[in-house]
Chain A
Amino acid sequence: MSWTLLRGTLHQNRVSIFWFSFGLVLYSWMMTWFYPEIGGNEYAELVETMPAEVLAIFGGTEVSFASLGGYFQTEYLGLMWMVIVASALIIYSAKAFAGEIAEGTMEFVLSQPVSRARLAITRIAVMVGYSLALAAASFVPIMVFGPKYDIDLPWDTFWTLFAFGLLFMLAVGGFTLMLSAIFRGAGKPGAIAAGVLVVLWIADLVSNFSEAAELFDPTNIVSYWQPGKIINGDPVDAAAWWLYGGVALVSAVAAVVVFRRRDAA
């Protein structure tokens, strides 16, 4: 890894890292603050008047709305959180290789004495750091502000949520980095990564009503993201850990291998 490149890459992405993290802190704090007002049984009665299809969109079919996990999954950590963190990581990762090659700045970097492998590993390290910042911004405020609003999340639940959320982000970021190492220009890898997530989300949605769409489930990273269950104390399927970890690792390795062999100007 190159420390100069690491500092430089963090510096160039400082604005987006700050605003996405700051936004997630505010969102988490706001959702924690609202819980005593709109959570619990009254909230469940209100939500359950909605059509099942609408509830499914927000991930509200897997957990009880009366529970803390059901509240957070439906209002925040289900669809909205995925959209926010996926946007942040896709924007960064798509630009990391393909965007810089198209913009010409990769030519400047590669004219310096830094190997392609070190460059690729550093860009992956920044993606990991970015994901850590987003995970901390998402979940730490719930622990910090929670006790003031009748939310007492056990530490082991917090760490499971943190680790599983982080791994979800690494899978999305790693997959996009792999696409970025293949293409030229940030548009294509960004669009493909976003498109795959939308397709998986639709498959997850449809699988609530149709068995045909369950075909995707074993490899659907969207289906496995059930933060409500974690908050309610349920364990995460081992298959989910393996899937997220596998996608993140294989994609990251593939990104390094492809970037080392491709034309980079």
Chain B
Amino acid sequence: MDVISTSGLTKYYGKARGVEDLTMAVPQGAVYGFLGPNGAGKTTTIRCLLGMLKPTAGSSSVLGERVTLDGAALRRRIGYVAGEVRLYEKETGRWHLDYVAGFRGTKGPLTAELLERFDLDPSRRVKELSKGNKQKLALILGMAHDPELLILDEPTSGLDPLNQEAVYSVIEERVAAGRTVFLSSHVLSEVERVCDKVGIIRSGRLVAEEGVKSLLGKRLREVEVTFADPVEASLLGELPGVDSVVAVSDQSLAARVRGDAIDGVLKRIASRKVSDIRIQHASLEDVFLEFYRGDDATHANDEGGEVR
């Protein structure tokens, strides 16, 4: 059963595009990463799924129910954490927890546990909280009632690594308990850590949908190496999976290396005497640009995923 499914979902704000002709499905028990750079349409899609925005065209269903603007019963089964946390500044965390409990008719069964795990003092007013602590409060408010579906819009934004890890652990535990998570992000490491499948959105359109393993295979690395002696760019340029080799100086080369090609590149570099080396992962946006620039045609990828 698909927990989320959309068909031709389109949202325009006047003439401005939010999301266009989005068709996707999220199976039960999955952690679905919804990836894309800022402004790609991730938040618009989520707000359409929650019935906060009225689609210009298309439809969507969540947990087997068609999404409408007045779907209060459906939202009882969903937990949502907004990308940009906006709470009542003058009220305390405890007030917010009680407020949500009032709407849901019961205090969230996970409230005490989450407060302890995120180490949050709920007695402070929201305006006194740091960005990270506001994010923690929003996460607790969204997850405390143990929803069937968790929709998280960039959930670890502003959190330190320890709390990021706590979020990932909670997500994994919820999924192990049969819940489904829909997570928007532009952080590759986050996607690697928790997601099973990813949908990549660019300029309002879903350009790819595939497994995380496949996406990682396509990951780019930027390699900059300084040799003890002068070298030609062809040293790396002739290797498969190596793009755009640039001779920074007589002894230094910079190259972009795709996925598994890194092994061959390192072996070739090791054949010479090396003075210095720097390897860094390209941003997820670079991955998008590298693999999906101008590619509007639909074709199957190597893991059975689909690139549109």
The reply to whether the CB of A105 lies closer than 8 angstroms to some CB of chain B is: yes
Shortest C-beta distance, A144 to chain B (Å), equals 33
Stretch at the interface among B87-95, B166-174, B224-232, B240-248: B87-95
Chain B residues near A104 (CB, 8 Å)? 82, 84, 86
> Which of B52, B78, B90, B102 meets A107, CB within 8 Å?
B52
Shortest C-beta distance, A13 to chain B (Å), equals 11
**Most B CB within 10 A of own CB, among A104, A108, A110, A116:** A108
The reply to whether the CB of A148 lies closer than 8 angstroms to some CB of chain B is: no
Roughly how many angstroms separate A262 CA and B104 CA in the complex, as a whole number?
A: 24
Roughly how many angstroms separate A8 CA and B103 CA in the complex, as a whole number?
A: 11
The reply to whether the CB of B100 lies closer than 8 angstroms to some CB of chain A is: yes
Roughly how many angstroms separate A103 CA and B90 CA in the complex, as a whole number?
A: 13
Shortest C-beta distance, B228 to chain A (Å), equals 56
Interface residues on B, range: 20 to 34
The reply to whether the CB of B299 lies closer than 8 angstroms to some CB of chain A is: no
Chain B residues near A107 (CB, 8 Å)? 47, 52, 82, 86
The reply to whether the CB of B76 lies closer than 8 angstroms to some CB of chain A is: yes
B50 close to A113 (CB less than 8 A):
no
B72 close to A111 (CB less than 8 A):
no
Roughly how many angstroms separate A4 CA and B130 CA in the complex, as a whole number?
A: 27
B87 close to A112 (CB less than 8 A):
no
B80 close to A105 (CB less than 8 A):
no
Given contacts A104-B82, A264-B52, contact A113 B73 (CB under 8 A): yes
A111 close to B86 (CB less than 8 A):
no
A263 close to B52 (CB less than 8 A):
yes
The reply to whether the CB of B69 lies closer than 8 angstroms to some CB of chain A is: yes
The reply to whether the CB of A117 lies closer than 8 angstroms to some CB of chain B is: yes
The reply to whether the CB of B54 lies closer than 8 angstroms to some CB of chain A is: yes
* Interface bits A71-86 vs B (CB < 8 Å: 1, else 0): 0000000000000000
Shortest C-beta distance, B253 to chain A (Å), equals 48
A108 close to B103 (CB less than 8 A):
no
**What are 13 A-B residue pairs whose CB atoms fall within 8 Å in the complex?**
A12-B90, A105-B86, A107-B82, A108-B82, A108-B87, A110-B50, A111-B52, A111-B78, A111-B80, A113-B104, A114-B72, A260-B70, A265-B53
